[in-house]
Amino acid sequence: MKRGMPLALVLAVVLVNLACMPGLLMDGDPNAWRAEASSILLHGGLEVPRRLMFGDLGQWFAQHVHTGAWYSKFGVMNALMSLPPMWLQYVSGGADWALSTRPWLLLYNLWNVALSALLAVLLYRAAAAYTPRLALRALFVLAVMYCTFLWFYQRAQNSEIYQVIFFTALFLCLRECRRTQAFRWALAVWLFALALVLTRVVYGLLLPLMAPLLLYALCAGREWPEIRRMTPKLAAALALPPVLIVALLAWINHVKFGAPWLTGYHQWEPLRHLPTGNWAEGLYGFLLAPRFSIFLYFPPLAFALLGLRRFARAYPFDTVAVFACLATFLLFLAKLPSWAGEWTYGPRYLLFVLPLASLPALAFAESLIEKRTAWPARALAGVAFAALGYSAYLQIQVNRLPYYTYYYARAAADISPRAVAYFENHVGVISGDLLRHRDDLEQLPYWEDLKRRGAAEDVAKHKTQVHELIRRGNWFWR
């Protein structure tokens, strides 16, 4: 049974994700690193041919300050993670990365299904450390993967899915390092930190966080004389890897952009990527705003808060490790003018840590099971299942429509202040509203205001836009 549950879980994830594969390739950022992956395959280098360029200077591609060559502004790991489906496309005779016909889309979809199955295994392994109940472990994994906006990023060909995988693997290695106090696990932690840094440069914040955590993991419980004898090895294990990570990133930056300190974000609206924003605005957005609240988009996190005290008492090291990362990135990202990560669905910049930050929900569930005969526990369990069920319903509605439906529909109705307010405060339910009123759009809450303020052609344009989005949908098998 212990082996059967994870196998059944992985099979369920594969079947669900195969059935729900998207019918569209995501535009924007993924196009840039697919272009870089194509260059790696066809030319053995990172320079992107000018024929594949799109967007403004620095928006997706940055120009080398000395040679004038063009490179993807994004971390090279994004291109490397695009190589498996790209290579299969290449050996199948489709050298052009831009082909979006059905066979090539299928390759990317299958790659994402495989990544989702791997993530399910990692999350199950993480949950297994905190509950002996096999069903509860599986329920946690399913809640995280299908009752949150993570489902959207399992389907979209973006980088969030492997960011979550890398960070989850990093955490599991950190736990093993604390349990075994073996230096090989410390090396594994740094390797996954490297993968994250090469995905997005902001993950450099992990380097100063991991060093003290690894120091404690390797030294806790040891006698002082033993620690003194380990000092050279400790110094090498804690100082050398981050130095090498920074050096490698600097070399890649020099190759791609012309200087070690240029990250790719220096040519297009560079101030948007520096911590010069309004802290209060960013924190409010991440915590409370309807469009980006981590609690609304990731309901297990809300229930994790109810179990956090019990969880922290039982697993203090794990709690500090996860929530130190969450707090650091929350505070830093909230200071960025671009904290929302537009165009996007949900607070994607924090998605990497939210599954692990939800682990205390297992302690909350254990407390409910222990008190299952009492009506308050039953009521709380009912609330939890209702919240998760409703969130899963919302994810289905969003996944039914093209990736950027929110932005296209909002742009077509921006002449109406009531429509703008509606779109600002009802992100999760908008897709459901559009689908429910597809034959009577006049029932949408902002329609009367739109008719009153806009010309007839504006109203007709919005109706046509919405109908086209619904007609296209985003299901592969349709």
Q: Are 444 and 437 in contact (CB under 8 A)?
A: yes
Domain boundary among 344, 370, 396: 370
The verdict on 289 and 356 lying in the same domain is yes
Q: Is 382 among the domain residues? A: no
Q: Do 290 and 427 fall into the same domain? A: no
Length of the chain: 478
Give the model confidence (pLDDT) of 155-174 as tens digits.
999 999 999 999 999 999 99
Six-digit token string for 367: 């407390």
Q: Are residues 330 and 453 in the same domain?
A: no
Last residue of a domain, one of 346, 370, 394: 370
Flag the least confident range among 98-102, 148-152, 216-220, 422-426: 98-102
H-run or E-run covering 191: helix 183-197
**CA dist., res. 179 & res. 220, Å (int):** 10
Nearest to 10 by CA among 128, 154, 138: 138
Is residue 269 located within the same domain as residue 409? no
Regarding whether 436 and 364 lie in a shared domain, the answer is: no
How many domains does the structure of the chain reveal? 2
Residue 391 and residue 261: Cα distance in Å, rounded? 42
Rounded to two decimals, what is the model's pTM? Answer: 0.95
**Is residue 377 one of the residues assigned to a domain?**
no
Residue 277 lies in a domain: yes
Whose tokens are 């041919």? That residue is 49
Gap between the Cα atoms of 393 and 320, Å rounded: 33
Structural domain that includes position 462: 405-472
For 250-272, how does the pLDDT look when each residue is reduced to its tens digit (9 = 90+)? 999 999 999 999 998 988 888 88
Does 255 fall in a domain?
A: yes
Which tokens sit at 291? 């469009």
Q: Are residues 28 and 116 in the same domain?
A: yes
Please, how many CA atoms are within 13 Å of residue 363, restricted to the half-sphere of its CB? 21
- Retrieve residue 156's tokens: 């979209």
In a shared domain, residues 181 and 242: yes
329 closest CA partner among 353, 311, 364, 360: 353
284 and 419 housed in the same domain: no
Residue 425 shares a structural domain with residue 333: no
> Does residue 262 lie in a domain region?
yes
In this predicted model, what pLDDT tens digit does every residue of 89-111 receive, in sequence order?
A: 888 775 554 444 445 889 999 99
Whether 193 is in a domain gets the answer yes
Query: Which pLDDT score is estimated for 270?
Result: 85
* Residue where one domain finishes, among candidates 352, 370, 388: 370
Please report the pLDDT score of residue 351 as a whole number: 97
Asked if residue 463 and residue 350 are part of one domain, the reply reads no
Q: What are residue 61's phi and psi, to 5 degrees?
A: -130, 135
In a domain, 242, yes or no: yes
CB 310 within 8 A of CB 250: no
Same structural domain for residues 422 and 298? no
409 lies in some domain: yes
Regarding whether 337 and 409 lie in a shared domain, the answer is: no
**Averaged pLDDT for residues 342-371:** 95
Please, which residues have CB within 8 angstroms of residue 130's CB and are 6 or more apart in sequence?
311, 314, 315, 359, 362, 363
Burial 333-360, CB ≥16 within 10 A → b, else e: bbbbbbbbbeebbbbbbbbbbbbbbbbb
